[in-house]
Amino acid sequence: MKAFVLSQYKEPLQQIDVPEPVLGDHDVLVEVHAAGLNQLDEKIRQGEFKQILPYKLPQVLGHDVAGVVLQVGPKVRSFTPGDEVFARAGDHRIGTFAERIAVAEEDLAIKPATISMEEAGSLPLVALTAWQALVERGNVGPGQKVFIHAGAGGVGSIAIQLAKYLGATVATTVSAGNKDFVRELGADVGIDYRAEDFVEILHDYDLVLDSLGGENLERSLKVLKKGGKAIGIAGPPDADFARQLGGNPVLLGATTLLSSSIRRKARRLGVSYQFLFMRADGDQLRRIAGLIDAGEIKPVLGRVVPFDQTADVLAAMEKGGVRGKTVVSHL
């Protein structure tokens, strides 16, 4: 089958023929109809995660999938051939930039009935990131104030909607041209990151979801109230992340050191910092699908491109400029 493969870090993906997926007892073989492109895919291609999330090259890339079940393993009980499904493939089982992929049953969910395959393919990674940040880690509820960076992006556009559904007041950073767009998603405050300083505008927030890292993350600590929490998805990784990966003492030590500066700055301000590297979770996807079919959350599909353009479009992702998600389609 055809797939886009990473053969060497920092090099473009190559479209080649690869063996068919091997189906385990608890696996589901999915014919890929659409696959979302994520910054995580590009960071893996650039080698940014090779120390903490190593892959044996060559590796088919791609984390998001929407498609149709072709076959199920002998111990699978939740899915049957013909089901329309979506998933974020599990770590070390990625490979959605292909014609077919074997996905663990526990990572898979029935596709929301009210949206297209392309829309479903845009959702899993960003929606799970928003869910795990706001619901699982943040315990966001009515009356709280949530600050979400890059509100027009893939994670931000879903996180705004989820935070609003949870009852929070939502602020976000965007370009001037996207202020109306994020207000339509539910943002109460839109800040032009080029012309306005969010530190001067926002105060006493309960939670910050940061997707940029670096100085942006450090400055974000200042808008939190005492006891508030900053959740970073761009790093630096912390010891909890190393434990999530089953890390050895060397990895635990390295991640502790990497995050020591930001954690120290957070403590001085009476707030906390956590790194979030989202995980695959079919149960959470089912809950998200329910919100989508109920009209509480809508996918933000920025661009759909043919499968054969995967490599070029992924390499251009760092330029930004697309609202929501870019999806490659086999349809």
Q: What is the pLDDT along the chain (331 residues), one digit of tens a residue?
A: 999 999 999 999 999 999 999 999 999 999 999 999 999 999 999 998 887 778 999 999 999 999 999 999 999 999 999 999 999 999 889 999 999 999 999 999 999 999 999 999 999 999 999 999 999 999 999 999 999 999 999 999 999 999 999 999 999 999 999 999 999 999 999 999 999 999 999 999 999 999 999 999 999 999 999 999 999 999 888 877 777 767 667 667 777 777 899 999 999 999 999 999 999 999 999 999 999 999 999 999 999 999 999 999 999 887 777 889 999 999 7
C-alpha span between 74 and 26 (Å, rounded) = 7
Q: Are residues 129 and 251 in the same domain?
A: yes
Q: Enumerate the β-bridge partners of residue 72.
A: 28
177 & 318 share domain = no
Cα–Cα distance for residue pair 210/150, rounded to 1 Å: 8
In b/e form, how buried is each residue of 64-98, taking b as 16+ CB within 10 angstroms?
Answer: bbbbbbbbbbeebeebeeebbbbbbbbeebbbbbb
Are residues 72 and 165 located together in one domain of the fold? no
Judge whether 182 lies within some domain.
Answer: yes
In eight-state DSSP terms, residue 147 is E
Same domain for 43 and 179, yes or no, is no
Q: Which residue has the tokens 């979506």?
A: 86
Same-domain status, 53 and 154: no
| CB 128, CB 278: distance < 8 Å | yes
pTM of the predicted protein model: 0.96
* pLDDT given at position 237: 86
Question: Nearest Cα to 113, choosing from 88, 83, 89, 87?
Answer: 83
Task: Check whether residue 185 and residue 256 sit in a common domain.
Answer: yes
CATH code at position 208: 3.40.50.720
Q: How far is Cα 251 from Cα 239, in angstroms, rounded to an integer?
A: 8
Mark whether 263 and 306 lie in a shared domain: no
User: Are 154 and 268 within one domain?
Assistant: yes
CATH number for position 90: 3.90.180.10
Residue 250 has a pLDDT of 67
Count of domains in the chain? 2
Helix 124-131 vs helix 154-165: angle between axes, to the nearest 10 degrees? 50
Q: Please check whether residues 133 and 253 belong to one and the same domain.
A: yes
E strands, the chain, are 2-6, 14-17, 27-37, 59-60, 64-72, 84-88, 100-104, 108-110, 145-148, 169-174, 189-192, 205-210, 224-232, 272-275, 301-306, 325-329
Let me know whether 129 and 63 are in one domain: no
3-class DSSP state of 111: coil
Residue 71 in any domain: the answer is: yes
C-alpha dist (Å) from residue 3 to 29, 86, 87, 311, 327: 15, 18, 18, 10, 15
**Are both 148 and 162 inside the same structural domain?**
yes
Residue 118 included in any domain: yes
pLDDT of residue 202: 98
**Is the peptide bond prior to 237 cis by the omega test (within 30 degrees of 0)?**
no
Q: Quick one: DSSP state of residue 284?
A: H
118 shares its domain with 156:
no
The whole-number pLDDT of residue 48 equals: 87
Q: Cα-flanking dihedrals φ and ψ of residue 161, to 5°?
A: -65, -40
On whether residue 108 sits in a domain, the answer given is yes
Is residue 160 assigned to a domain?
yes
Residue-number span of the structural domain to which 148 is assigned: 125-275
**Gap between the Cα atoms of 127 and 290, Å rounded:** 12
